[in-house]
Amino acid sequence: MHFDSLAPTPPDLDALKPRAAALRERLATGDVAAVLAEWNALRAPVWSWLSWVNLRHRQDTTDAAVSAQKKVRDSIEASWEQEELAVERALLDLPRPTLESAVPAQAIAKWSAAVAAVNPAIRDEREQENALVSEYTKLLGGASFEVDGVTHDLTTIGGPATSGDRSERERAARAKWGWMAENRGELDRIFDELTVLRDGMATSLGHQDFVETGYLRMSRVDYGPDDVARFRAAVREHMVPLGAALRERQAASLGVDTVMLWDEGVLEAGGNPSPGPVSGMLDAGRAAFGRLDPRIGSFYGDMVDDGWIDLPARPGKAPGGFCTYLTAEKRPFVFCNATGVQRDARTLVHEVGHAFQKQASAGIELPELLHGTSDAAEIHSMALEFLAWPVMDEWFGDQAERYRRNHLAGAVLFLPYGLLVDEFQHEVYRAPQAGAAARHRAWADLESSWLPWRDSGDLPHVSEGGFWQQQRHIYAWPFYYVDYCLAQTVALQFWALAENDRADAMERYVALCARGGSLPFQALVRTTGLDSPFDDGAVAQVAQTVARALNL
């Protein structure tokens, strides 16, 4: 089915709710497996429509009709969420032997977390939260500013921001952060409202703070904040010094005394390698994925042919990249914002990794187990980035080796930034009434600790602790960002495996994708034969391996 032929209709909740109630009643006396099968069929079209509307809104944030539909969608989602939770509560109320004989343990754990994270008392607040996130998405999607007479948005600014011309990079940074400074009032207001709202929801749920709520939302069932704190400490000890050494090497390559913020995205003199024109990137992907693995190549070709990849940036399109899934159609959709810069090829590979996993595990009947929790899901995307190294020449030609060096160095430099985001969120939600000025100061203090090399000079907004406001996850998906760091640590283990035995690494990867979310994060990692990032010495071992490869 071609994506453009889809025209899902909004779910009729008045008709669906009595059917959901009837299924709940049958659970007490009926065949649990049969009831679950009917429940899955009932909710699949609802999930598809919710995903489809959200996607259409991200594709064009300026379309008034789509924006209006998005508001309807957010209301329906908040209401349908309660129906989902009612079924999950009914399942959890069953005698434990009955439930465990019919449902895998990971599904029970995820339902338990979901029921603890949401209840009918916060339905209106959940709808308000969705509306505030939509405001933020629309605000960033409408950003517009000029560099050297050319109008840019927050996506296309990536071109001049990573130019080989240092003065152009600085002009791009000043234009971008000037826009952020001009909109600081709205950015602060939206986040302040979100923070207070989320704290109120945590209180209503009887939680200590939104940190507890956030972890439950993320379905973290095999680790908690203390484990994450230990992981942060290991990265601070072993990876931050590598990052500092890389920035020193970068300064020498660029011929500058200090790597300024506008230099950070260009690791070597001459600028970054380019993947070529955006118009040719999808076809280059056919050759790349076809060479990499026939299973992934065939899957990717079908996605391109049927219009399930939206690659180029355009005015009004929300920034960023992601993969969503239409449950009724059993197909993933990849959303990107390619402008012809180095990161475009890696982002495409990343999102195809997510998409391939969803396809590889499509035979798993319970939707809760089809996809891993986000920490595990990011392994599928980030590991594929490294496994695809041998075919990156399809995009970068004779510059592929430079791309690979940049990618590995970038993985090291990302970890401190990602955990800065994570620690910042813990501070925010443990002091929800602190206010905007205190949050900017907190970011600035943490930034100097995690990124001691960062120098933003007198850049608007950034110099006042505002860098975090461009990070969409902080607004839209609280506590998500550490998942990238955990997954990066595992992905680097896949990279090390592939350097020794690429075929073995690829088979382990495909097997991991097929397991979907059938196990919690650490179990999925260990069944692949790798170390959990929380294991003693795991981060240190990865750091040593990377340091040798980068001659640090």
Tens digit of each residue's pLDDT (9 = 90 or more) over 39-87: 999 999 999 999 999 999 999 999 999 999 999 999 999 899 999 999 9
- Closest-CA residue to 249 (of 235, 233, 263): 263
pLDDT of amino acid 372: 87
What's the Cα-to-Cα distance from 290 to each of 10, 61, 294, 298, rounded to whole Å? 38, 34, 5, 7
Q: Both tokens of residue 412?
A: 């090291």
Least confidently predicted of 362-366, 463-467, 504-508: 362-366
pLDDT of amino acid 119: 86
Enumerate residues 6+ apart whose C-beta is below 8 A from 132: 190, 193, 194, 197
Residue 20 has pLDDT above 90, yes or no: yes
User: Is residue 413 within 8 Å of 243, Cβ to Cβ?
Assistant: yes
Q: How confident is the model at residue 270 (pLDDT cuts 50, 70, 90)?
A: confident
User: Is residue 222 within 8 Å of 520, Cβ to Cβ?
Assistant: yes
95-128: pLDDT as tens digits: 999 999 999 999 999 999 999 998 888 989 999 9
User: Is residue 457 within 8 Å of 463, Cβ to Cβ?
Assistant: yes
DSSP string for 91-143: HHTS-HHHHHHHS-HHHHHHHHHHHHH--GGGHHHHHHHHHHHHHHHHHHHT-
Sequence letter at residue 361: S
DSSP string for 34-76: HHHHHHHHHHHHHHHHHHHHHHHHHH-TT-HHHHHHHHHHHHH
pLDDT of amino acid 22: 95
Residue 155 has pLDDT above 80, yes or no: yes
315-340: pLDDT as tens digits: 999 989 999 999 999 999 999 999 99
Per-residue three-class SS string for 445-468: HHHHHHCCCCCCCCCCCHHHCCHH
Q: Which residues pair with 338 in a beta bridge?
A: 312
Enumerate residues 6+ apart whose C-beta is below 8 A from 127: 74, 75, 77, 78
Share of the chain above pLDDT 90, in %: 95
Q: How confident is the model at residue 538 (pLDDT cuts 50, 70, 90)?
A: very high
Residue 507 has pLDDT above 80, yes or no: yes
pLDDT of amino acid 271: 87
Q: How confident is the model at residue 193 (pLDDT cuts 50, 70, 90)?
A: very high
pLDDT of amino acid 30: 77
**Looking up tokens 């120098």, which residue turns up?**
455
Query: Across all residues in the chain, what is the average pLDDT?
Result: 96
pLDDT of amino acid 396: 98
Q: How confident is the model at residue 377 (pLDDT cuts 50, 70, 90)?
A: very high
pLDDT of amino acid 29: 83
* 178-184: long-range contacts, CB 8 A cutoff, minimum separation 24: 178/145, 178/460, 178/461, 179/143, 179/144, 179/145, 180/460, 180/461, 180/466, 180/469, 180/470, 181/460, 181/461, 181/466, 183/139, 183/143, 184/461, 184/466, 184/469
Residue 294 has pLDDT above 90, yes or no: yes
Mean pLDDT over 496-502 rounds to 96
Q: How confident is the model at residue 365 (pLDDT cuts 50, 70, 90)?
A: confident
Residue 11 has pLDDT above 90, yes or no: yes
d(CA 41, CA 368): 13
pLDDT of amino acid 163: 92
d(CA 298, CA 38): 32
This prediction has a pTM of: 0.94
Q: How confident is the model at residue 28 (pLDDT cuts 50, 70, 90)?
A: confident
Mean pLDDT over 278-300 rounds to 98
pLDDT of amino acid 500: 95
Mean pLDDT over 492-507 rounds to 97
d(CA 100, CA 86): 19
pLDDT of amino acid 120: 87
